[in-house]
Structure 1
């Protein structure tokens, strides 16, 4: 059967993609960030998945105010990079795994999660920047990817508990898939940041550190954290962290941390990465 072997988290800051495209990853500002990903990149070479379920949020590329799915799973053969206003990112198309994606969709829907099935969807930096940070600039991504878009842009976003429970449902779905596949779940976005208003530029290292700690030490606290706490402590965009909880739920009751990287600031944002394995 298929199995979930690891979970990763990663910020998806668009400036990371811009740094790669402009060849500035080695300058004084960006070098510490890209060096901080080296451990996970090397780890992935020895732990390459067959499929990544990549949890991210769309930034008004595939969706707008006309349609706002809470959870949307990409079931297509491939997904082109979205044009976010300055042309599509010069990265490979994301190649999906339709059979597994449809299986996850069916299993989760019958498990009482209302998934939106996407048979055509462009993916923006929320999906492609984490791939670039982990795989560099290949001619093709080295594994198949199932994009799972979560609404954390328009109120109301799903609760942390609902996201964690969806991760648990994805675990059940993957483990009921008959093909022998190595599957990883990546939760992207975050950490603390606010992009507008009087608190623009907000970073809360104490909150971020506690959140990273409790991904393994006390995930129940994170499941119960209300929306207002994300807003108050982590800024208006800090709610993206609920997507990490989908990954965490998919690893099962117990998980252990094998790597952590945290850096501030990165384009006025706190950047965080974890690599977790099921215990």
Structure 2
């Protein structure tokens, strides 16, 4: 039986990917950020996940304003890095797991979540930057990845409460898959940032650190935070944090925190990172 062993939570800032791709990781500006993932790269090399359910949001590459699913799962064999306007990132092709992804779609839809099922899509920095942060620059990613895309771009996005419930449904789906797999669930996006308007550049360290505190041991109540609070306190793009609840909902109620990291700024964004293991 497949089991979810851990959750990884991280920001997915596009400038981080550019720093990696252009060999700027050792520059004074970027070095403190990448040092915060030194432990993470060692940890995941020891954990050796077979499959990662990677929760992210598309940034108008696979989807656009004509069609934006609230929740989508990709069931294809492989996924190309997307061209986001300056060419695709020079990273490996993402290898999917069609059997598990199709099983999850069947289970979760029957569990009353209306997932959109997508076979082929290109994956942008929302998915590839977390992989680079955790695995570095390998010739191929060392495990399979199932993309789970969430709409946090076009109003209305799903609530944190609904995302938390989806995480629980994902766990039920994984645990009913009849193959011995070590599965991780990753929640990405955030933390506080706003990219436009009079508040462009907003970062709220207090909000971010309170969120990092509470998602470990008080996630269910935290998930009920209304969207307006994210926008008001963490900027218009801070609502990406609802995706972290999908990963947290897929874990046990009691978890062990293996690593925590917080850094500002990375471009115009606060970077948060957690590793939580099931007990």
Name the TM-score class by shorter chain: over 0.9
Question: Cα offset for 1:203?
Answer: 0.5
> 2:241 maps to which residue?
241
Q: Distance in 1 between matches of 2:273 and 2:234?
A: 16
Unpaired runs of 5+ residues, structure 1, are none
SS at 1:265 equivalent: strand
Runs of 4+ in 1 over 4 A off after TM superposition: none
Q: Residue by residue, what CA displacement relative to the aligned partner does 1:177-205 show, whole Å, maximum 9, x if unpaired? A: 00000000000000000000011000011
> 2:107 maps to which residue?
107
Q: Distance in 2 between matches of 1:272 and 1:161?
A: 21
SS at 1:276 equivalent: strand
**TM-score normalised by length of structure 2:** 0.99
Q: Report 1:138-153 matches (<5 A).
A: 138-153=138-153
> 2:51 maps to which residue?
51
Q: CA RMSD in A?
A: 0.7
Q: Report 1:1-279 matches (<5 A).
A: 1-279=1-279
Question: Cα offset for 1:234?
Answer: 0.6
Q: Distance in 2 between matches of 1:31 and 1:60?
A: 30
Unpaired runs of 5+ residues, structure 2, are none
Question: Cα offset for 1:277?
Answer: 1.1
Q: Distance in 2 between matches of 1:48 and 1:10?
A: 18
SS at 1:187 equivalent: strand
How many residue pairs end up in the alignment?
A: 279
Question: Cα offset for 1:22?
Answer: 1.2
SS at 1:147 equivalent: strand
Q: Distance in 2 between matches of 1:256 and 1:154?
A: 34
Q: Distance in 2 between matches of 1:268 and 1:78?
A: 32
Q: Distance in 1 between matches of 2:203 and 2:255?
A: 27
Question: Cα offset for 1:16?
Answer: 0.6
